[in-house]
Structure 1
Amino acid sequence: MISINEYFNSTVKSLGYTSAKGKSSVGVMEPGEYEFGTSTHETMLVIEGELIAQLPNQTEWKSYQAGEKFEVEANTSFKVKSVGQTSYLCQYK
């Protein structure tokens, strides 16, 4: 079954699904700055566009372009800045 998720007044939208590899979501972010909390380990892959992320326990921001990914441990939070519309794939473990 596909789930529909909307966050931050509909500026972030995603479709959640389960495949043979586990749970994932694919979505799009409008330009802006967002903070997400995690309940499981997450791997974020930028599909198109650019995300600038501040990962847990980090003070610096790092840019991730299309084809690049970052990982975030469970039970933490992270911030991202979307530069233009950005699409992503998030895989949960």
Structure 2
Amino acid sequence: MISTNEYFDGNVKSIGYKSATGKSTIGVMEAGTYEFGTSEHETMTVIEGEMTVKLPNSKEWVTYKAGEAYTIDANQKFQVKVSEQTSYLCQYA
């Protein structure tokens, strides 16, 4: 079944689905700064635009562009900054 999610007063929206490879969401973020929490391991791939990310236990911000990915373990918080609308694929495992 397809699900929809909306966060940060509608500035982040995603559609959730299940495929042969597992559970995923695909979404779009408006320009802004956000803090997310994970409940399971995530692999985040930037589809279009770019994200500047501060991963858990890191002091540095790293920019990921279209086609690049990063991972976050379960039960962690991380920060994301985007300067323009940016789309992403988040895969859970």
TM-score above 0.5: yes
Matches within 5 A, 1:70-81: 70-81=70-81
Q: Between Structure 1 and Structure 2, how many residues are aligned?
A: 93
DSSP 3-state at the match of 2:83: strand
Q: Which 4+ stretches in 1 moved above 3 angstroms?
A: none
1: distance between equivalents of 2:4 and 2:30? 16
TM-score norm. by structure 1 comes to 0.99
Query: Which residue is equivalent to 2:7?
Result: 7
Q: What's the C-alpha RMSD, in Å, of the aligned pairs?
A: 0.4
Structure 1 gaps, min length 5 = none
DSSP 3-state at the match of 1:9: helix
Question: Is structure 2 residue 74 aligned with structure 1 residue 66?
Answer: no
- Identical columns (%): 63
Query: Which residue is equivalent to 1:89?
Result: 89
Deviation at 1:82, TM superposition (A): 1.1
